[in-house]
A and B are shown apart, each in its own frame.
Chain A
């Protein structure tokens, strides 16, 4: 997939995602041709805000890189910017889940598992943001 096609797909899905009803819960900023910052809070801790950076190399054909950014310092290398939820490894600054590229790097076998491999069906940007929100709403315990 060409960069141009990726960017076209990404722009279209970003615009759609912003129209979703639940988008009112998020602040989404496009920060790269294939990248966003999205601010989210757990339902149980609305005062806690986490800012995820989702950055694709190819959209929607590959999973995005997932990092959390400290809004005060703009740093992406602070474990304290990460929430404690299933599969996240703040000390390693990565997440072992099958919706980010870091997870697939940790588990290359997922790429060959038809059930677990990345799917490019539907609005993948929205899908990943909703996965993050779902994780925060249902499995958040604390900030690291």
Chain B
């Protein structure tokens, strides 16, 4: 799977442009050769990033199949959090998309 999105058009209502700094978001997914990359406004929510990432990797969540975004070892469970908040003072945010793994 080749998923490299260098620049994404902002979604309607997501990025009003000039007032917001941008953050470079890089999301790796173990079943994809290349990570998802996008430059987004810092007020973009993690939920919006997740939607774009699932779409880019051709994945679909169902009631019983979920994917989780991780920043380091921390799951980003608050989908209303913004990319700017998650990135802190950094201008780049590296995330991982994970499937559920169990070790019996």
Mark A residues whose CB is within 8 Å of B: 16-17, 19-20, 86-87, 96-99, 103, 106-107, 110, 114-116, 119, 121-124, 126-127, 130-131, 134
Number of A-B contacts (CB under 8 A): 61
Please, which residue of chain A has its CB at the minimum distance from the CB of B103?
A: A87
Chain B residues contacting A110 (CB-CB under 8 Å) are 102
A-B contact pairs, 5 of them (CB 8 A): A87-B104, A103-B104, A114-B64, A115-B100, A116-B100
- Given A114-B65, A127-B30, check contact A119 B99 (CB 8 Å): yes
- Among A20, A97, A122, the most chain B Cβ lie within 10 Å of the Cβ of A122
Question: Shortest beta-carbon distance, A7 to chain B, in Å?
Answer: 19
Question: Shortest beta-carbon distance, A106 to chain B, in Å?
Answer: 6
Q: B101 near A: Cβ within 8 Å?
A: yes
Mark B residues whose CB is within 8 Å of A: 1, 29-34, 57-59, 62, 64-66, 99-104
Q: Is the CB of A121 within 8 A of B31?
A: yes
- Given A17-B33, A20-B33, check contact A122 B57 (CB 8 Å): yes
Top 5 closest pairs, chain A to chain B, by CB: A122-B31, A87-B103, A114-B64, A96-B104, A127-B31
Q: Is the CB of B33 within 8 A of A126?
A: yes
Q: Is the CB of B59 within 8 A of A121?
A: yes
Q: Is the CB of A98 within 8 A of B101?
A: yes
- Given A115-B64, A126-B30, A130-B30, check contact A121 B101 (CB 8 Å): no
A134–B102 alpha-carbon span in the complex (Å)? 14
